[in-house]
Structure 1
Amino acid sequence: MDFDMRALPKASRYKILGSCVTPRPIAWVTSLSVDGVANAAPYSFFNVLGDDPPTIALGLLAHAELRLKDTAANIRARGEFVVNLVDEAHAEAMNLTCIDAPPEIDEFVLAGLEPAASVAVAPPRIASAPVSFECRSLHLIETGPRQIAVIAEVLHAHIRDEFVLDAENHYIDSPGMRLIARLHGSGWYSRQSATFQMKRPVWGRLRGRE
């Protein structure tokens, strides 16, 4: 079946995208308002774009109240934020920060999260998160009414010691982090409990089989 995405209502477009593009990593974004109020909110329209410089992309949809989401407003005002990754242990706290709280509410306090000072940016990171990326925005692109795509450079990475297998060679225990991801539909998430590996093909070896 074909769907004309231009003709569908907003909710239907979201259902199709969210149901088909899975699993999606979760960026638990911490930011600061112009008044210094800390904000934490999860976003699953998120991924890595490149490594020179290290670059991530973040999609921030419009607020239901027809305004910018607090995260988008904070990033636009300050140009800095932290992406914290979410493991199973933080799932409930992350879910609590999805709440439609007013801008003056500090989600660190609401969810019982301990802030930790960042090195290169003003917004705090989540101290207990398995990974935190301090980011500075490179480009803010308005892709629709109050919908913003953020392209940002990762300035500093924090990885909890128990997940660093070899610091010199930067070997990271990715399975050990037990990160979760967003799936289809409201409230559905996945664990990294079932994986498989395929080696990347090499053209020279493939040609040698002829």
Structure 2
Amino acid sequence: MTNHTHFDFAKLTERERYKILIGTVIPRPIALVTTVSKEGQPNAGPFSFFNVLTHDPAIVAIGVENYADMRFKDTARNIRETGEFTVHICDNALVDQMEVCAIKFGPEVNEMEEAGLSTVPGQMVRSPRILAAPAALECRRHTTLQVGPAREIILGEVVGVFVRSDAVNSSNLHIDQQMMDAVGRMGGHTYARTRDQFDIKTLTPDEWAAQTAIPRPTIVSG
């Protein structure tokens, strides 16, 4: 039997809780989020507290840790002011440029220019689209949940999606996971690639019953 160590989160510091969470909830998808300020200044930053929550309506969530002095990060401020953002799925080829966007530049710096990322204007939102990303989800802010003095969860409704053409079958909407080549965030400074994959089909109750049925012994009359 495997032994486990229990941690009472009420007795841990904020940093200790963070280390436990990022080390256990793995791998986490990475949202490379682009926004523009109300003055039109572009911004990009990666967030690994991210996922899709529902498809009807189509809602994604991003956890943002703002500054301890209550200043908003550029992403959070821009979304509050414009109500728009674009989530890019980060693939293996984008990792180095994504890390450049993680540098804490000032609001006057365009991280995409620093990283050498080519962009085009968004189609349904004003935030720019990074051309090298395998997928881009154009979003409008649905709800902002203030969950702590410097922490908020931003819910965005996906209003349009770009997917690289060689990774999607437009007739049946099947997306080639290998072509997407997405990366995920682990604990610390570690990332994971997603090319090592396997399939499992969830059984129906009848299939499970048939699979787990205990065969009855055959009774031979004498």
TM-score bucket of the superposed structures, by smaller chain: over 0.9
Alignment correspondent of 1:174: 177
Larger radius of gyration: 2
Q: Which amino acid aligns with 1:71?
A: T
In structure 2, the partner of 1:131 is 135
When the two chains are superposed, the root-mean-square deviation of aligned CA atoms in Å is 1.4
- Name the CA shift for 1:64/1:89 in 2 (closer, same or farther; >3 Å): farther
Contact 2:31/2:48 (8 A) holds in 1: yes
Q: Provide the residue aligned with 2:71 in structure 1.
A: 67
Rounded Cα–Cα distance in structure 2 between residues aligned with 1:43 and 1:83? 10
Residue 195 (structure 2) aligns with: 193
Alignment length (residue pairs): 208
Post-superposition CA distance 1:52-96 (Å, at most 9, x none)? 111111111123665221111111111100000111111000011
In the alignment, the residues of structure 1 paired with residue 49 and residue 165 of structure 2 have an alpha-carbon distance, to the nearest angstrom, of 28
How far the C-alpha of 1:170 sits from its partner, in A, is 0.5
Alignment partner of 1:95 is 2:99: yes
SS at match of 1:123: coil
Go from structure 1 to structure 2 and tell me whether the alpha carbon gap of 1:64 and 1:109 turns closer, same or farther (over 3 Å shift).
farther
SS of match in other structure, 2:11? coil
Q: Which residue of 2 aligns with 1:16?
A: 20
Distance verdict in 2 for CA 1:89–1:109, change over 3 Å? same
Structure 1 residue 204, shift from structure 2 partner: 2.3
* % identical aligned pairs: 38
Answer yes or no: is the 8 Å Cα contact 2:68–2:150 preserved in 1.
no
Cα distance, 1:14 vs. partner?
A: 0.9
Q: Aligned equivalents of 2:71 and 2:9: distance in 1? A: 23
Query: The residue matched to 2:156 in structure 1 has which SS?
Result: strand
TM-score normalized by the length of structure 1: 0.94
Secondary structure, aligned partner of 1:39: strand
2:7 aligned with 1:3, yes or no? yes
The aligned residue for residue 111 of structure 1 is 115
User: Which string of whole-angstrom CA distances, capped at 9 and with x for unpartnered residues, describes residues 107-130 of structure 1?
Assistant: 111111111121111111111211
1:34 aligns with 2:62: no
Distance 1:11 1:95 in 2: 22
Deviates more, 1:53-62 or 1:21-30: 53-62
Q: What is the rounded CA distance, in whole Å, between the counterparts of 2:102 and 2:69 in structure 1?
A: 15
Question: Partners of 1:155 and 1:146 in 2: how far apart?
Answer: 28
* Offset at residue 139 of structure 1 (A): 0.6
Q: TM-score, normalised by structure 2?
A: 0.89
